[in-house]
Amino acid sequence: MQINIKYFASLRELMGEASTQVDVEDNLSVNDLWQSLVTQKNVEFDTVMMAVNAEYVKPDYQLQPGDEVAFFPPVTGG
């Protein structure tokens, strides 16, 4: 199935792109997708926020064909 991915803030620079489309296997969680992406790009980033179709999701959210996934670093204030 095909998934659209967007990276925001420092993740955009770390991943080397703002967005991409990938083909992934069925029954994949958003966290499984993230782990696969950081392994492919050989980067380390411990904490990431995840959204699917413009809504925050838990890491175990199961992806569906055509989902738009957004990854971004946690927002901090001060």
Q: What is the model's pLDDT at position 45?
A: 82
Q: How far is CA 6 from CA 22, 39, 55, in A?
A: 11, 17, 13
pLDDT in tens, 7-35: 999 999 999 999 999 999 999 999 999 99
> 33 and 59 in contact (C-beta within 8 Å)?
no
Q: How far is CA 62 from the centre of its chain?
A: 13
Q: What is the mean pLDDT of residues 39-65?
A: 94
The pLDDT value recorded for residue 75 is: 75
- The pLDDT of residue 67 is 97
Domains of the chain: 2-72 (3.10.20.30)
Please choose, from the candidates 75, 77, 20, 16, the residue with its C-alpha nearest in 3D space to the C-alpha of residue 49. Answer: 75
Question: In the predicted model, what is the mean pLDDT of residues 53-69?
Answer: 97
pTM of the full structure: 0.91
Q: Is-contact 9 76, C-beta < 8 A?
A: no
Contact in structure between 22 and 31 (CB atoms under 8 Å): no
Q: Please name every residue paired with 17 in a beta bridge, in sequence order, or none if there are none.
A: none
